Amino acid sequence: MITNDNKKRILEAIFSNRKNYPSDAKHAAALGISASVYNGLKKGQVEKTLSDANWVNIARRLDVNLRERIEWKGAKTATFKYITMQLEACQERSLSVILCDLPNIGKTYTARWYVNEHRNAVYIDCSQVKTKRALVKKIAQEFGVGISGKYQDIYEDLVYYLRSMESPLVVLDEAGDLQYEAFLELKALWNATEMCCGWYMMGADGLRAKIDRMIDGRKVGYAEIFSRYGGKYSRVTPEHEDDRKAFLLEQARAVAAVNAPDGVDIGPIVRKSGGGLRRVYTEIEKIKKGA
């Protein structure tokens, strides 16, 4: 059951997200609701406007947690600064980049933050849309392009829209989960939007291993994809183990410093985290809820 407090948080997220779209109609399409329902929500009409399933779908898309959670502030870590710089370059200059690095260092947080703050940029969790059709339809929906009708029409409408937009950017997170046909479709999309759209592919070291394995095995399309995405892998964390450990602990310290309650010694939090940012959240959550 979606409570009124849940609906309030979702509405706030909807209104915040509106700035990223050129019109109410495009925003409504991206949210998967009709224009009339969207207009009702703008007027504060929430009773019997959407089903619980619709509310949950919008909450998931806008990353609204339906359970109580502690207030969390973003920290400008080295990962945040590096990825933000790359995303800006990709969007402004229609570049394509592959970032392969350790999990739990803030890649997803940074990408979601960037997309929320920049118009014409969308975030795609590829682990949820692994097939070619699901991927293309998701990208189209995020841009507010209609997804009913034949797949080829959806694809062509998406390409047309990307080529007509001002500096679009597609962020592909967990890209290593995509099926082979989805990777080939990304190549086709890149070809169709060359110099018109920025593409940013992210994943852990498994993505790099997968691409290298497919290239070595001469799997059709992978060498071309790698070339189109810059022909190299970007990385934030240092290669040397000792340097990497110090880097991760410094990131954990930066995040803990802006989120821990006043007067709390963040040293134990950082040590317990081992440099993992999810563990930092867990430890601070314990402290805040305990208080």
Helical H segments across the chain, by residue range: 4-17, 24-31, 35-42, 52-61, 78-93, 107-117, 132-142, 151-164, 180-192, 205-216, 222-228, 241-259, 267-273, 277-290
Report domain extents, the chain.
Answer: 4-61, 78-234, 241-290
Contact 95, 198 (CB under 8 A): yes
CA distance 222 to 228: 10
CA distance 98 to 84: 14
Of all residues in the chain, what percent carry a pLDDT higher than 70?
Answer: 99
How many beta carbons lie within 10 A of that of residue 268, not counting itself? 11
CA 259 to chain centroid: 22
Q: What is the pLDDT of residue 254?
A: 97
Q: What is the pLDDT of residue 186?
A: 96
Contact 135, 126 (CB under 8 A): yes
Q: The CATH number of 78-234 is which of 3.40.50.1400, 3.40.50.300, 1.20.1530.20, 3.40.190.10?
A: 3.40.50.300
Q: Using one digit for the tens of pLDDT, what is the confidence trace for 85-137?
A: 999 999 999 999 999 999 999 999 999 999 999 999 999 999 999 999 999 99
CA distance 287 to 277: 16
pLDDT < 70: residue spans in the chain: 291
